[in-house]
Structures are given as C-alpha cells and as structure tokens.
Amino acid sequence: MEIADLKKIRRHLGRFLKQFDDCIRTKPSRKHLRTYIRGQVSDLERKSVEPIALKAGVAPRTLQEFLGLHKWNHPQMRRRVQEIVMRDYADENAIAIVDETGFAKKGKKTAGVQRQWCGTTGKKDNCVVTVDLGYSAGDFYALIDSDLYLPEETWHKDRQRCRKAAIPDEVVYRPKWQIALEELKRAITNGVRFKYLTADEAYGKCAAFRREVGECGLTYVIEVPCSTAGWIKKPRVISPGEYDGSGRRRVRSYLAPGSRKSRPVAKLWQRGGPHWQAFHIKDTEKRPAVWEVRAIRFFASEDALPGEEGWLLVARNVVDGEIKYFLSNASADVSVEVLLHVAFSRWHIERAFQDAKGQVGMDHFEVRRYLPLTRHMILSMVSLLFLAKETKRLRGEKSMVESAPSANGRRGAA
C-alpha cells in the first residue's frame, strides 16, 4: 500500500472514531480508544494490550485500566456500531446471521472458560465461547453483537468462581439460542432492520427459537438436524373440547386416531419423492459450489403435534454427497432460489470471524475478567467495521458477490 493511502486511512480512522466520542466522557479515555483501535487495525503480529501499548509508546497498564476500570458506555458503543451499519448499509433484503465462535485459552480463570467444543480448533478444547450476531447485505457483512456464553455447571452454579472473574450476579446461564434471541431483539430495538435470518442446526433444532424469530417478523431459513420430524400432509388434530374416536372428550390437543406419525426428514423420501433440482450456490477457490435440492411444504413436529406450515429443503452437495436439511417459515410463493441464498449466507459470518481474528486480533485478548472481555469484543466490532468500510472504499463500489434476492427471486443492485 502506498504511503498516501496509509495517511488517508489514518485520517479516515480519526473521523470514524469521532462518531463514538459521546460513548466516552473523558479525553484520556477517548485517547485510549484511539490507541486501542489503531493497534487492532495495524500490522502488529500480536494485538493484545501490551504490544498495542508498546507500539503506541504508552504504558500497558493504562490500556488495561481503560478496558477494565475506566467508566465509559460500552453498550452505547455497540448500539452506535449498529446505527452506523443501518445508516450506511441498510438493505431491504438484509440477513441476520446467528453463529458462535470459540477462543482457545489456557488456565481456568478467564470468564466462561471450560473444556467445550471449539469451532476454531475443530475439537473439544479449553476455550471461551461467544454467541454472535452478524449483518449481511449484498457484499457487506459485519459483526453487530457478541455475548459471552456462561457454562451452567462449571460457572453459573459456582457464583464464587464467577465473582473472582467479576461476572455480575445478574449474568447467568442461558442456552445459546436464548442469547441469540436477546441479541436479535436488542438489534431490532436499536433500529436494525432484517428481512431474513439463518443459523446452523444447533439453533434450528430448537422450535422455540424458530417460533420467536418468526414472531419478530423475520423470514428464517435455518438448518436442522436429520432427526427433525414432521409431516408433508398435515394430520388431523383433535382440539380441546372435541370427542375422539373412542367417544372421550379431550381436554388438550391430540392427533386423531389413525393419523400417520411424524417421520424424520432423513427418512421421508426413501422410496422416492420430489425430483432433485441443481442450483449454483457460489464460486469457491477450488470449484463452483453446486447443490441439488428437494423442496416441499412441511409441518414440523412440535410437542408431537404439527406446527405451522413452512418449507423443508433437502440440499445435497453434488461433489461429496453431504446433505443438509433446512426449515423455513417463508410463504408458499417464495422461490427456492431465495431460500437457498439465505440458507447458504452463513459463510458471511464465518468470514467475519476469520477477519476479526486474523486482522484485528479478536482472539488475542489476555484479559480474564468479564467487563474487559466484553469491552474487547465490542472494540473488535468497531475495528472490523472500520476495515470493512475502508475495504469497500478502496475496492470501489463494485459488488464482489450478488446481493440477496427479493421475494420474487429478482436480485437487487449490490
């Protein structure tokens, strides 16, 4: 990169960070904010507090105090990230993407750390896990919320351990799908507008999560496990007050006698079914990603009864035969192409995680307590948003990928 470009980026960073000045009251703390963000977007190999401070010529202790002791409004800073995203990248077809990521850590003192599945290392590892919310619109993507997952047995039930890590008493165990819903509702309250939502099967397997996403007014396309059961044709349900075949009056809903039982989605078409239709999903570094898809209207089983009618998509990779199952609450007139675009948009948040860890050091934190860890995540979102804006500026406005199609299947300009 030319010297002139570097100077221009520094000027842009200064103007960008002024948008967060009202989140931080004092001038010294604002100076620390600029030092921390400059370090995160710099070419430092390690972007933890000490290397950032030494590069800037300040005492590491001052940045540590900025993260953990100084009084500044980090929830407002998170809200400002969301406001900037909506101001500059609002899109009527925006997609909310829910996912989680792990940060491998040694020891037992970092807030939330335990041996658990770590997607970063691809195995069960000693790590901290966060649940994250991404925003995707055309060729733009960003992380707009992140929250610590607090394991139930090793942390939530051991409040003494929590207090040693300065975890407030009001921070308790919540299943990951509930954390994701809280982030989604918080973003919507802050003015973020989505049309769609996608997530992997860890979230899709929860009927309550799917139902509440729908109640938020979003169209979801969520991966579900192969064991997810339901019906292609809605079975008759005996409602409270009706008489069943035996002449007994029911006080709660039941399947009518003789109704076909629900079947796992993996076994629905063992003897045939809807034909496979091939779709080009995207181009990868190795080859085009092509998936064959079966799509049909479907009633997922919820407490042994049929839920609302929606879509079931069965997608099979033409190269390796991998099969994925997706449920959607989209109406019958929404095209399969639209549903697939949303379903396979999760790569945006996976790329955001790669950028956050590889470019701004989101995983380089060495803090152990809850508050500085939370603030580090929010500051990393700020840094990532700045880099996304600069990347778009340097590349020009030409779209790198197609934007999300609207409900009629037509694609808008990126």
Q: Name, in order, each residue with C-beta under 8 angstroms of 328's C-beta and a sequence gap of 6 or more.
A: 219, 220, 221, 222, 310, 311, 313, 334, 339, 342, 343
CA pair distance 384, 79, nearest whole angstrom: 15
- How many alpha carbons fall within 13 Å on the CB side of residue 56? 25
Predicted local confidence at residue 62, as pLDDT: 95
Predicted local confidence at residue 248, as pLDDT: 65
One domain for residues 110 and 136: yes
What would the DSSP string read from start to end of 301-364?
EETTEEEEEEEEEEEEETTT--EEEEEE---TTS-HHHHHHHHGGGHHHHHHHHHHHHHS-TT-
Q: Would residue 410 count as lying in a domain?
A: no
Q: Would residue 200 count as lying in a domain?
A: yes
One domain for residues 213 and 225: no
Q: Would residue 167 count as lying in a domain?
A: yes
Q: Name, in order, each residue with C-beta under 8 angstroms of 248's C-beta and a sequence gap of 6 or more.
A: none
One domain for residues 41 and 160: yes
Predicted local confidence at residue 249, as pLDDT: 62
What would the DSSP string read from start to end of 256-319?
PTTPPPPEEGGGTTTT--SPPEEEEEEE-SSSEEEEEEEEEEEEEEETTEEEEEEEEEEEEETT
Q: Identify the residue whose tokens are 């041996």.
A: 115
Spacing of C-alpha 100 from chain mean position: 7
One domain for residues 84 and 53: yes
| pLDDT tens digits, one per residue of 143-167 | 999 999 999 999 999 999 999 999 9
Amino acid, single-letter form, for residue 64? Q
Per the structure, the count of domains in the chain is 2
Predicted local confidence at residue 250, as pLDDT: 59
Q: Would residue 250 count as lying in a domain?
A: no
Spacing of C-alpha 284 from chain mean position: 22
Adjacent-strand bridge partners of 315: 293, 324
Q: Name, in order, each residue with C-beta under 8 angstroms of 336's C-beta and a sequence gap of 6 or more.
A: 277, 279, 293, 295, 313
Boundary-marking domain end, from 339, 361, 385: 339
Phi, psi angle pair for 40, to nearest 5°: -65, -35
**Domain span at residue 173?**
3-217+348-395
One domain for residues 206 and 286: no
Report the SS3 class of residue 390. Answer: helix
Predicted local confidence at residue 368, as pLDDT: 95
| Token digits of residue 349 | 């948040």
Amino acid, single-letter form, for residue 88? D
One domain for residues 37 and 134: yes
Predicted local confidence at residue 411, as pLDDT: 40
Q: Would residue 158 count as lying in a domain?
A: yes
- The ranges of the chain with pLDDT < 70 are 1-7, 241-251, 397-414
One domain for residues 173 and 307: no
Q: What is the model's pTM?
A: 0.90
| Token digits of residue 160 | 């003494």
Q: Would residue 407 count as lying in a domain?
A: no
One domain for residues 332 and 373: no
| pLDDT tens digits, one per residue of 279-325 | 988 777 777 889 999 999 999 999 889 999 999 999 999 999 999 99
Tell how strand 196-198 and strand 219-224 pair up. Answer: parallel
What's the longest Cα–Cα distance across the chain? 86
The number of beta carbons lying within 10 Å of the beta carbon of residue 218 is: 19
Q: Would residue 106 count as lying in a domain?
A: yes
One domain for residues 150 and 198: yes
Predicted local confidence at residue 401, as pLDDT: 33
Q: Would residue 14 count as lying in a domain?
A: yes
Predicted local confidence at residue 247, as pLDDT: 61
One domain for residues 281 and 363: no
One domain for residues 332 and 367: no
Q: By 3-state DSSP, what share of the chain in percent is helix, strand and coil, each rounded to 5?
A: 40, 25, 35
One domain for residues 358 and 310: no
